[in-house]
Amino acid sequence: MQRHRHSDTQNYDYGYSKSDTQQFVGEVIGRNEENGLIEIEVKNKFLVDDELELMTPQGCKTFTLTHMESPKGELIRDAKGSGYKVMLSLECEFDLEFGILMRNLDFGETTRHPFAQNQA
């Protein structure tokens, strides 16, 4: 068995993580008992019409986001980023404890300034 050098397993080219397939966008807080919407603590920006993946220990579900509300019940089109909470409409039988939300990136998009890349 051979040990890998640090440069083989570590990223020294830039000081941030980078992906070209998915971006972590939120943590599941739970399901609102009154309206059935899933409560999300936002970590990175995402939008209505984005393709998302709910990942839980019981399984994963990929879906296109069609409905999102603020905690006050106002319809919104974007989850601004870290520090915000939103409510999503999603039929799901999984236990939501330890659930996370990922955004599937479009071809050529990366997690480094992903929305700036689409503004040309």
Radius of gyration of the chain (CA): 16
pLDDT at 46: 96
Length of the chain: 120
Cβ contacts of 25 within 8 Å, gap of 6 or more: 42, 43, 44, 45, 46, 52, 79, 101, 102, 103
pTM of the model: 0.77
Task: Note whether 99 and 43 are within 8 A (CB).
Answer: no
Label residue 7 exposed, middle or buried (CB < 10 Å: 0-12, 13-18, 19+).
exposed
Write out the chain's pLDDT in tens, 120 residues. Answer: 666 555 555 555 555 555 578 999 999 999 998 899 999 999 999 999 999 999 999 999 999 999 999 999 999 999 999 999 999 999 888 899 999 999 999 877 766 666 665 554
Give all domains of the chain, ordered by start, each with its CATH number.
22-111 (2.40.30.10)
